[in-house]
Structure 1
Amino acid sequence: MKNKILPLILIIFIVALSGCIQSDVGKINGLSSTINEHLKNGDNYYNTAAEDINSFSLERALTNCNSAASEFKLAKSSAEEGLKYAQNSKNTVFIEYMGYAVTEIEARLNATLQLQQAIPYLQQKNNTTANNHITLANSYMDRSMEYKAKKDNLVSQNPSKFK
């Protein structure tokens, strides 16, 4: 009887342990919703900050820029973690995708920082310098959209890898 119980316990232990082990790709998939949520929140704060600047609600714009930057930093941290998992998986598609994601988020963060830097100049009525920062913010945001398009293209070329 003991001889039959020991293998049964061993099999149960192995099955239970294998369910607890998550692959690097599984970890990337788990991070994707976190990244997307932070990007969505960051974009909302960024867009609200831009609207605030246009209506000269500069204190509110600064608050929304700070919130956007915080959300983008959280997204970047998760994306960098995902990039490490992708590198561990040695899957070139995931490595490229997560690399694009990190670069996209960095561009959004830089756009937010440029928008933040414009606000004090707007408060001082130094519109030329403020507009230079706003132009840079727009440029960074355009760059982020280029990397988003690269990610989307990678997904469309490899639909079996993305669910």
Structure 2
Amino acid sequence: MSKYIKLIIFILILGIISAAILYMDSSVDNMNKLMPEISDGIVNGDKDYNDAVDLVNNKSYANSMNKAISAGNNYNNSLNKLHILKNNFTSDITQVHKDYINDAILELELKLKAVDKLKESIECFEVNYNYTGSEYGFEANDYMNQSMSYKNERDSLVSENPKLFKQNFFI
């Protein structure tokens, strides 16, 4: 065999081994790796959202809008990572893990709706449409309250199945 053929065979074998190692990385391992980032996005989004509400109550509309946009960005980043996890589930994922991820997705979708309503509220307050702004604010609050039911469901899944969740897994 020539040196080139041996080199090509070596590269192919190395590629196959690399692909096998990547494939063997389980969905649970991927979840455990991504959960801290997802959790940080949700926590930071919640903080930014609450800051935006405080700022709008203090009539600091430009700063409030910036915080609302930041909250939305944080929630969207976490939601995108959750969709990646969900789209790459393998056989090692339990129904409990699937339910957890689905609940987190539904929670974030509601939080994003709340952010949208908060931004509409801010825009109304900026032009002194206070009644309409308040209505949008109430809608935002309702979405946030609805999102809490999914967070509570996730917390229940963790407390009922502690062996399925590493300490750093859950949000």
Q: CA deviation at 1:65?
A: 0.7
Q: Deviations over 1:54-75 (max 9, x none)?
A: 1000011011111111111001
Cα pair 2:41 2:74 within 8 Å, conserved: yes
CA distance in structure 2 between the aligned counterparts of 1:130 and 1:87, rounded to whole angstroms: 45
Query: Where is the helix percentage greater, Structure 1 or Structure 2?
Result: 1
TM-score if structure 2 supplies the norm length? 0.81
What TM-score results when the alignment is normalised by the length of structure 1? Answer: 0.85
* CA distance in structure 1 between the aligned counterparts of 2:162 and 2:79, rounded to whole angstroms: 24
User: How far apart, in 1, do the equivalents of 2:37 and 2:142 lie?
Assistant: 26
In the comparison of the two structures, how many residue pairs are matched?
149
- Structure 2 residue corresponding to 1:30, chosen from 25, 30, 33: 33
Residue of structure 2 equivalent to 1:50: 53
Task: Pick from 139, 142, 145 the counterpart of residue 139 of structure 1.
Answer: 142
Q: 1:119 aligns with which of 119, 122, 141?
A: 122
For structure 1, list consecutive stretches of 5 or more residues without a partner in the other structure.
1-12
Q: Which of 16, 40, 47 lines up with 2:43 in the alignment?
A: 40
Residues 2-151 of structure 1 aligned to structure 2 (within 5 Å) = 21-86=24-89, 89-151=92-154
Distance 1:148 1:104 in 2: 7
* Greater RCO (CA < 8 Å, at least 6 residues apart): 2
Aligned-residue CA RMSD in angstroms?
A: 1.8
| C-alpha distance 117-87 of structure 1, shift in aligned 2 (>3 A) | farther
**23 and 142 in structure 1: CA distance in 2 versus 1, 3 angstrom threshold:** same
Alignment check: 8 A CA contact 1:114 1:134 kept: yes
Identity across matched positions, percent:
28
Instruction: Specify the SS of the correspondent of 2:88.
Output: helix
